[in-house]
Structure 1
Amino acid sequence: MHRVRRKLRLAGRMPAPIEDYAIIGDCHTAALIDREGAIDWLCLPRFDSASMLGALLGTEEHGQWVLRPVGEAEMLGRRYEPDALVLVTRWRTATGEIEVIDAMPHGDRRADVVRRVRGVSGEVAVEQVLRIRFDYASAMPWVRQMGTDEHPALVAIAGPDAVVVRGPRFRAIDHAHRAETLVRAGETVDTVLTWFPAHRPAPGPLDVDAQLDRTRAWWREWALTCAAPGAYDEHVRLSLLVLRALTHEDTGGIVAAPTTSLPEDLGGSRNWDYRYVWLRDAALTLEALMLHGHQTGAAEWRAWLLRAIAGDPQDLQIMYGLSGERRLAEYELDSLPGYRGSAPVRVGNGAFTQFQGDIFGEVLIALDRARDLGVEEDESSWSLQKALLAHAEKQLDRRDNGIWEIRGEHRTFTHSRAMLWAAFDRGVHAVREHGLDGDADHWAALRDGLRAEILANGVSEGGWFVQHYDTDEVDASLLQLAHIGFVPHDDPRMLATVTRIEETLLRGGLPLRYRTESGVDGLPGDEHPFLACAFWLVENFAYGGRLDDAVALMDRLVGLTNEVGLLAEEYDVENDRHMGNTPQALSHLALVRAADAIATARKRVSPAVPSRAS
C-alpha cells in the first residue's frame, strides 16, 4: 500500500482524481470517500437511489460530507482493517494525531454511515461540513435541530427522503452545517448519519460500538471462506471483498459499479450509469466468487435470475435493476454538471434494450460451473436454462450489439457467436455429465454448427480471430475464447490473436477494447485501456506459455490499484490516472482470474478450463 502525505486543497474544489476514492458499503449501497476526508458520493438506501451527496459529479454544492482536522494537516495514509470494508485514515497536525474510522454497519437493517474519530496523541481540532442535497442535488432539504444539548441531532427532509445526523452539534452556515470538536488522545467521537423515509419517525440512536464490532465480525467471517489462489493473495482478497460489497444482500443482484457517469474520457460524453445488474458481469462475478469458496451465493443469484427473467424468454434483457426491474430508461440530469465538467450525467442505461448474444453463454457457463462445484439444480432452475437455450436457438440468425454495447450498426461479432457456442456446449454437458433432461444431440448439432461457422468466417487470412465477420480488426473480447474452452490457449489461432492484439490495440502497454477510430461503436470521442481486458491478456499469457510476460503485466496492473487496492474501469496511461466508474466489478473479477491463471501456470498444471472443441 502507498504512504500518502499531502496538504488539503481549498474549498470550492473539483472532485478528487478517481483513484483517490475508497469505498465503504453495507451490501445495499456504498459511499465513496476521497483522501481528504470528503464523502463525495452516497445514494441511500440502495445503489440505484438518487444521490444525496453528489460532489463527485460536480462540486461540494452538490452534496458532500467532509470530516478532517481544522486547518493544515497531513493525511499519513489510509487502509482497510484486515478482511473488512472498514476504512481507517490517519491524520497528523502540529498538535497531535487522530484516526478516522469510516464504515457502513452491516446487518442492522438500517441505512447508516458511521464516522468515528479516535484521538491517537496530543489533541486535534476536527471539523465537519455537511451539505445534504437530495435527488441528485435537485432538492435542498428542510433542516431542523432536534435532540438535547447533551445528545444533539440534525434532521434534514426533502420529499420522500430524510436523514438524521447524531453526534457533535452542527450549526448552519449558508446552505451547509458545520461542527467542530476537540479530540484528545484516548477519546472517541462518533457521528452517525441515518437515512429513513420522510413519512416515518426518525430511527433511534445507533449503538456504534456494537454495530462496528458486528460489522467487522461479519466481513471477517465471510472472508474466512475465501480460498486464496496462491498468487497476489492480498489483491485477490480485497477484490473478493469488493465483489461482495457490490452484491445487494436482499435481492442477490450484483451491480457493475456503485457510480454513474464517471467518464471514460475526461471531458467526453462516454458517461454511463453502472448501478444495475448486467447478466454478463453478474455471471462472471458469480464464477469468481464460487471458485474462491462461495458456492452458496450461486443459489441466491440463480433465484435472482429466475425472478428477473420470469415469463416469456423472448423478453430477456441484457441487464436489470437490483430487484429485477426491467425499465431502465436512460435520461440526462441538469442538476449535476458532471465529473470535472464531463457531461452529460446519465441515470438509467439505454443498453437495456439491446440484444447481445453473448449473455446466453455467460449465464450458462456460470450455472454450469455451479453444477460442477456441487450446487444442486432444482426443477425451476434447470427449466430456466432450457428455456434460455430454446430462446438462444431462435436468435441464431440475429446480429447483435456485442459485449461492448455498440451503439452503431449491428454486426456478427465473433465473441457473441462463440458465447452462443458455449451456451449449447454447457447444455450438452448438463445432460451428458450431470444427468439432467434435455435434447443433448440437438444442442450438440447447434454447437458444432456454430463452431464450423466461426472457424469459416471469424478467422482472418492472417490466422487470428476477428472482431466481427466483416473486418480483419481484432477486439479484446476475443481473449475470452480460450477461457470458455472454444480453443486451447496454445491454439495457433489464439496465439495469433494475442499477438495481433499486442500489435494493434496496446496503448502504453495496456489493451484497448477495440479501435474506436474504426467507427464500429457509433460514438464520438475516445476511451482508454480497459483494465479487465489487460487482466484477460495476463490470463492468456499465463496459459499460453508466456508466464514471465504474464507476471510482468500483472505486476504492473496491481501497481495501478490505489492505496487501498481499488480499480476503476479504465486507465489513462498518458496521464497516469483511473477513468470510468469505480470500483468496477469487472476489473476486480478479472484480477482474481488473472491471479488464478498465474498460480495455476506456476504449478505447471493444465489450463483450468480445458477445450471442449470437437
Structure 2
Amino acid sequence: MPTPIEDLALLSNCRTAALVSREGEVEWLCLPRLDSASVFAALLGDTDDGSWRLRPSETGARAERRYDGDTFILVTRWETPTGVAEVHDFMPVGLDQQAAIDRTDLVRRVVGVSGAVDFDVDLRLRFDYARALPWVRQTGSKADPELIAMAGPDAVALRGVRLHAEGHQHQGSVRIAAGQQVDLTLTWFPSFRPTPEPLDVDRALSETRHWWQSWADRIEHEGEYRPQVVRSLLVLRALTNHDTGGIAAAATTSLPEDIGGVRNWDYRFVWLRDAALTLEALLAHGFLKLAEHWRTWLLRAVAGDPADLQIMYGLAGERNLPERELPQLDGYAGSRPVRIGNGAALQYQADVVGEVIVTLSAGREAGLTESAFSWPLEKHLVQYAAEQFERPDNGIWEIRGEPRHFTHSRVMMWATFDRAVRAVEQHGLAGPVEHWRELRRRARDEIDSQGVSNGHFVQYYGTDEVDASLLLLPQVGYCAPDDPRMLATVERIEQTLIRDGLVLRYRTATGVDGLPGGEHPFLACSFWLVEQYATTGRTADAEALMGRLCSFANDLGLLSEEYDPVGNQQVGNFPQAFSHLALVRAADALCGSGRQPR
C-alpha cells in the first residue's frame, strides 16, 4: 500500500522540498530545484524508485512527530522497548545563492533520549525519475565514512554512516544511546565539481531554525485559526523560490485527483494565477518585500511580446514546459500516467491577466513603489487583454474540452480594466483611461446579460450550470457578497455542487472538461464558501465548515489539493498552495479582518 498523502511531512529550503513518511522514509526529493528530476521517487512507484529510510530496527516502534516551532524542522520521536530516540530532519536554508548552486543538503540528525535504540538505514538512489542508476563508490575512512554516487550531471555524497551494497541498494545501521547524536547528511552537487566540504550541522540547524521562526513571527493575524494561518503562510513561503521569486503551485507531480484515475498533473511550476493569489495572501499579512521579488520575476518571465504570454512558467521563468509521460513509474497507488511538464502551459485562460493585474494593484495599494518597468508591463498586459476581448478560453480549471466564455474569466477580464482605470484615477499613472473605461463597461454589460440565468451567475454563457469559481466574484469587487444574484448562485451551488458537505469545482458529468473520470472536492472551493458565508452573516455555517476543513489537514497542518470524504483521505498534489491560501482568506473573514474586495 502506498503511503497515505496525509502521512507525509514537508521539508523545505525554499528551493526544493523533501517529503518524509511517518515511517521515516524520504519518498520524494528533486534536486537541486523543486522542478528538477527526482533522486527519490518512491511516492510515485515503490521504494526501488528511490528512497531513504531511517527508522528503528525493532518492530513495534511507535513514532510521534511535530515541527520544531514555526519551522520545517521535523522532529520524530521514536519509542521502542529498548529506549527512546529522536530524528531531526531538515534542509538548511542556505541564503547564499552561489552556495546553493554548488550544493543542496538534507540532514537527518539522530538524538538519543533514553536507553539505546538501533536504527536501520536503507538508501536507494535513483536519478532522473528512476531512469538512471548511479555509479557508487565508498570513500572517507572508518571514522568518517562517505559514499559518493553520480549519474550524468548529478552527484550526491552521504556522510555519517557506513553503508554496504545489497544489489542496487545500500544498507547500514546506527546505534544511538542517551545523550549521543549522529548526523547523517545527504549533499547534492554537480558531478563535474569537487565534493563539497562536510556541513557544519550545528550551525545549519541553528540558522535554519532562526530563519523560519523569525519569518513566522512577522505574520500579522489574530484569530481562532492563527496556528493554521501561520502554517499555511509558511507553506506558501516554502513554495516560493528564494533565488528567483517564482511561486510553485505544489511540491509534487502526478499525485492523483482520483485514486487510480488519469487526472495526474505536474504542479511544480509557477501558474501566474496561483502565484498572484499566493502573493495576495502574503501581502495581506505584511510581506511587501516578497511582492517586489515576485514582480521582478514576473517582469523577467513575461518579457517580450504580450501575445506570447503563458499561463505558467518554470521557477526561473522558463517557457518550455512540454508535457511528457514517465512509463517507468507505476504512479501513486497505480494512478497512471505519471506526467512531468504541463500541457496547460499553452492554453489561453482569460482570467490570468486579471489575477496578475489585481495583485499588482494590491501591491500598489500596500505601498509597493513603481519600478522603471512595472507600469509599462501592466499596460502591455492590459493591452493584451483588450486584444483578446472576444476570445473564449479554457477557464480557471484548465479544461481540455472546447473553449468557452466562462463567467469567472469574463469577470477577471472586467477586473483587468477596472484596476487599470484605478491606477490612472487614484495613483496618477498614465494610460488610455477612456478606452479602458469603455472596455470595463462593455465587460460588465456582457456579464450581466449573458453570465446570469434564472437569477444566478452561470459557469459559462449559454448554460444554467454553476461552478465554484463564481464564489470569487465578490472577492474582486464585481458584486457585493449579498448581491441577490450572488445569494442565488450560492443556493444553486449548495443544490448541485455539494458532495458530502464539500464543494466540487463543477459537475464533471456534463463533459465540459473533456476528460474521463471524476474527481473529489477541491479544498479551496470549500474555503471560498466559508468566506462567502462569513461575509453574508451565515457565521454558524462558516464556522462549522471551517472547522471541518481544518480537520482534514494532517497532524503537521498540511493540506493537499482535494479531499475524499468517503475514504477520509487527502488526494491530489501536496502540499497545495491553492488550498492553503484559501484557508488564510477564510480565516481572515471569520476573525473579522477579511480583506476588502481585491
Provide the TM-score with structure 2 as the length reference.
Answer: 0.98
Per the alignment, residue 431 of structure 1 pairs with 424
Following the alignment from structure 1 to structure 2, what is the Cα–Cα distance between the partners of residues 487 and 40?
A: 45
* Match for residue 26 of structure 1 among 2, 13, 33: 13
Judge conservation of contact 1:271–1:343 (CA < 8 Å) in 2. Answer: yes
SS in structure 2 at match of 1:191: strand
Q: Deviations over 1:460-517 (max 9, x none)?
A: 12x1100000210000000000100000001111111111111100110001100000
Residue 442 of structure 1 is matched in structure 2 by 435
Q: Is the 8 A contact 2:266 2:340 kept in 1?
A: yes
Q: 2:585 aligns with which of 593, 599, 605?
A: 593
Contact kept, 8 Å, 1:100 with 1:117, in 2: the verdict is yes
Q: Distance in 1 between matches of 2:527 and 2:317?
A: 30
Q: Which residue of 2 aligns with 1:228?
A: 221
Q: Does 1:117 align with 2:124?
A: no
- Deviation of 1:75 after TM superposition, in Å, equals 3.1
Which of 437, 441, 446 is the aligned partner of 1:453?
446
Aligned to 2:344: 351
Match of 1:10 in 2: none
Query: Where does 1:379-458 land on structure 2 (aligned, <5 Å)?
Result: 379-458=372-451
1:386 CA drift (Å): 0.4
1:224-303 residue pairs with structure 2 within 5 A?
A: 224-303=217-296
Is 1:15–1:40's contact at 8 Å kept on the other side of the alignment?
no
Contact 2:22 2:63 survives alignment (8 Å) = no
The separation in 2 between residues aligned to 1:179 and 1:166, in whole angstroms, is: 12
Quote the offset at 1:15 in angstroms: 2.6
Query: Distance in 1 between the 2:520 and 2:299 partners?
Result: 36
Instruction: Compute the displacement of 1:228 (Å).
Output: 1.4
Q: Does residue 152 in structure 1 map to residue 145 in structure 2?
A: yes
Of 559, 579, 587, which aligns to 2:551?
Answer: 559
Instruction: Give CA deviations for 1:318-375 in whole Å, capped at 9, x if unaligned.
Output: 0001111111000101121100110000010000100000011100111111011101
Aligned counterparts of 2:550 and 2:66: Cα–Cα separation in 1: 16
CA–CA distance in structure 2, aligned partners of residues 540 and 60 of structure 1: 44
Match of 2:359 in 1: 366
| 1:68-124 superposed Cα distances (whole Å, 9 cap, x missing partner) | 000213333211111111111111110011111000001162300000111111110
Contact 1:467/1:475 (<8 A) preserved: yes
2:55 is aligned with what amino acid?
R
Matched, 1:526 2:513: no
Aligned to 2:316: 323
* Structure 1 unpaired stretches of 5+: 1-13, 602-606
* 2:46 counterpart residue number: 59
2:528 aligned partner: 536
Q: Return closer, same or farther for 1:610/1:308 CA change in 2, 3 Å cut-off.
A: closer
Distance in 2 (CA, whole Å) between partners of 1:78 and 1:368 is 41
Tell me, in whole angstroms, the C-alpha distance in 1 between the residues paired with 2:160 and 2:219: 36
Q: For residue 300 of structure 1, what is the amino acid of its counterpart?
A: H
CA contact (8 A) 2:51 2:125 kept: yes
2:440 is matched by which residue type in structure 1?
R
Which AA in structure 2 matches 1:62?
A: D
Distance in 1 separating the partners of 2:574 and 2:130: 20
Aligned partners of 1:543 and 1:113: how far apart in 2? 44
Is contact 1:572-1:578 (8 Å) kept?
yes
DSSP 3-state at the match of 2:170: strand
Q: Which residue of 1 aligns with 2:508?
A: 516
Per the alignment, residue 70 of structure 2 pairs with 83
Match of 2:332 among 331, 339, 347: 339
Q: For 1:95 and 1:284, how far apart are their aligned partners in 2? A: 50
Q: Tell whether 2:480 aligns with 1:488.
A: yes
Q: From 47, 55, 74, give the equivalent of 2:61.
A: 74
Structure 1 CA distance, aligned partners of 2:353 and 2:470? 16
Q: Distance in 2 between matches of 1:80 and 1:532?
A: 24
Return the letter of the residue paired with 2:326. Answer: L
Corresponding residue of 2:89: 102
1:208-267 C-alpha deviation (Å, 9 max, x unpaired): 000000111111121121111423000000001100000011110000011000000000
Partner of 2:190: 197
Q: For structure 1, which segment, 229-238 or 128-137, has the greater mean C-alpha deviation from structure 2 after superposition?
A: 229-238
User: Is the contact between residue 76 and residue 89 of structure 1 (CA under 8 Å) also seen in structure 2?
Assistant: yes
One-letter amino acid of the structure 2 residue matched with residue 51 of structure 1 = S
Match of 1:501 in 2: 493
User: What whole-Å deviation, never above 9, does each CA across 1:28-66 have from its counterpart, x for those lacking one?
Assistant: 000000111010000000001111100000000100000
Question: Is 1:473 matched with 2:465?
Answer: yes
Which residue identity lines up with residue 98 of structure 1 in the other structure? A
Instruction: Identify unmatched segments of 5+ residues in structure 2.
Output: none
Preserved contact between residue 286 and residue 366 of structure 1 (Cα < 8 Å): yes
State the match for 2:212 in structure 1: 219
In structure 1, distance between residues paired with 2:11 and 2:26: 10
Look up the equivalent residue of 2:589 and give its one-letter code. A
Instruction: Name the residue aligned to 2:29.
Output: 42
1:570 and 2:570 are equivalent in the alignment? no
| Aligned-pair CA distance for 1:160 | 1.1
Give the structure-1-normalised TM-score: 0.95
Contact 1:39 1:64 in 2 (8 A): yes
- State the shift of 1:553 in Å: 0.3
Instruction: Note the C-alpha offset of 1:545.
Output: 1.4
Matched letter for residue 167 of structure 2: D
Check the 8 A contact 1:75/1:89 in 2, yes or no: no
RMSD of the alignment, in Å? 1.0
Partner of 2:79: 92
Aligned partner of 1:580 in structure 2 is 572
Residue 535 of structure 2 is aligned to residue 548 of structure 1: no
Contact 1:281 1:586 in 2 (8 A): yes
Cα distance between partner residues in 1 of 2:288 and 2:522: 28
- In the TM superposition, residue 448 of structure 1 has moved relative to its aligned partner by 1.4
User: Aligned-pair distance for 1:610?
Assistant: 4.7
Structure-1 separation of matches of 2:432 and 2:306: 18
Residue identity opposite 1:192 in structure 2: T
Q: Give me the identity figure in percent.
A: 60
Residues 550-596 of structure 1 show CA distances to partners (whole Å, capped at 9, x for unaligned) of 11100000000000000000001110000000000000000000000
